[in-house]
Amino acid sequence: MVDPDDVLRSLLVSATAVTALVGDRIYADIMPTTVRYPLVVYTQPNVSPERTLRGGAGADHLTYQVDIWALLPESGRQVGRAVRDALDGQRSAQWFVALSRQQISFDDGYGLYHVMQEYAMSAESVATE
Domain count, the chain: 1
The reply to whether 101 falls in a domain is yes
The reply to whether 102 falls in a domain is yes
The reply to whether 99 falls in a domain is yes
**Among 115, 97, 117, 93, which residue's Cα sits nearest to residue 106?**
115
The reply to whether 67 falls in a domain is yes
CB 62 within 8 A of CB 44: yes
Domain that holds residue 15: 4-124
Peptide bond into 4 cis (omega under 30): no
The reply to whether 129 falls in a domain is no
**Among the residues of the chain, which ranges form H helices?**
4-13, 16-22, 73-87
CATH of the domain at 13: 3.30.2000.10
The reply to whether 21 falls in a domain is yes
pLDDT at 127: 44
The reply to whether 44 falls in a domain is yes
Per DSSP bridges, beta strands 39-52 and 26-28 are: parallel
Task: Give me the tens of pLDDT residue by residue for the chain, a chain 129 residues long.
Answer: 678 889 899 999 999 999 999 999 999 999 998 899 999 999 987 766 665 666 555 667 889 999 999 999 999 999 999 999 999 999 887 889 999 999 999 999 999 999 999 999 987 654 444
Cα 61–Cα 8–Cα 103 angle in degrees, nearest 5 = 75
